[in-house]
């Protein structure tokens, strides 16, 4: 598996609170990286779910996108301890938005604060851009 970083193109990762989905909490820019799988290039982007037990797609916008098909041209994949979404074929260069949910099995009282998660996400984004 060949891996290369593309720092000229950044993925916007927007964070929203489930209880107020229209309120944008923050947006961070992450450099996607490219890997080859079965001879085809894929773009990977960290979806920033630190400590999550699972992550899954809620919806794709637009829902009738002609180039992006789940499990064929995009998929969420766990690479411990992080989750990534990959896109290949025409979906790699398409303008599409994914709404992804991170789930945690721990009790709500033991959740990290949004500020802690954003701080870690910002650190990861900064490290990747360097």
What ranges do the domains of the chain cover?
3-129
In this predicted structure, the answer to whether residue 7 has a pLDDT above a threshold of 80 is no
The answer to pTM > 0.75 is no
Contact 68, 74 (CB under 8 A): yes
Instruction: Label residue 87 exposed, middle or buried (CB < 10 Å: 0-12, 13-18, 19+).
Output: buried
The Cα 113–Cα 35 span in angstroms is: 33
- Reported as a single tens digit per residue, the pLDDT across 73-118 is 899 999 878 888 898 888 888 888 888 888 888 777 777 777 787 7
Helix (H) / strand (E) element for 122: namely helix 114-129
Structure-token match 């041209």, residue found: 73
Structure-token match 């996400």, residue found: 121
Helix, strand or coil, per DSSP, at residue 52: coil
**pLDDT attached to residue 18:** 59
* Half-sphere exposure for 100 (CA within 13 Å, toward CB): 25
In this predicted structure, the answer to whether residue 129 has a pLDDT above a threshold of 70 is no
| Residues linked to residue 87 through DSSP beta bridges, in sequence order | 43, 74
């Amino acid at each position: 598996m060949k891996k290369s970083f593309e720092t000229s193109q950044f993925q916007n990762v927007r964070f929203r609170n489930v209880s107020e989905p229209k309120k944008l909490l923050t947006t961070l820019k992450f450099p996607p990286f490219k890997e080859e799988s079965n001879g085809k290039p894929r773009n990977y982007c960290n979806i920033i779910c630190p400590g999550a037990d699972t992550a899954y797609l809620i919806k794709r916008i637009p829902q009738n996108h002609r180039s992006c098909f789940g499990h064929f041209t995009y998929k969420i994949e766990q690479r411990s301890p992080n989750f990534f979404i990959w896109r290949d074929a025409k979906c790699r260069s398409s303008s599409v938005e994914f709404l992804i949910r991170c789930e945690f099995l721990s009790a709500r009282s033991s959740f990290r604060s949004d500020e802690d998660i954003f701080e870690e996400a910002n650190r990861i984004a900064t490290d990747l851009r360097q």
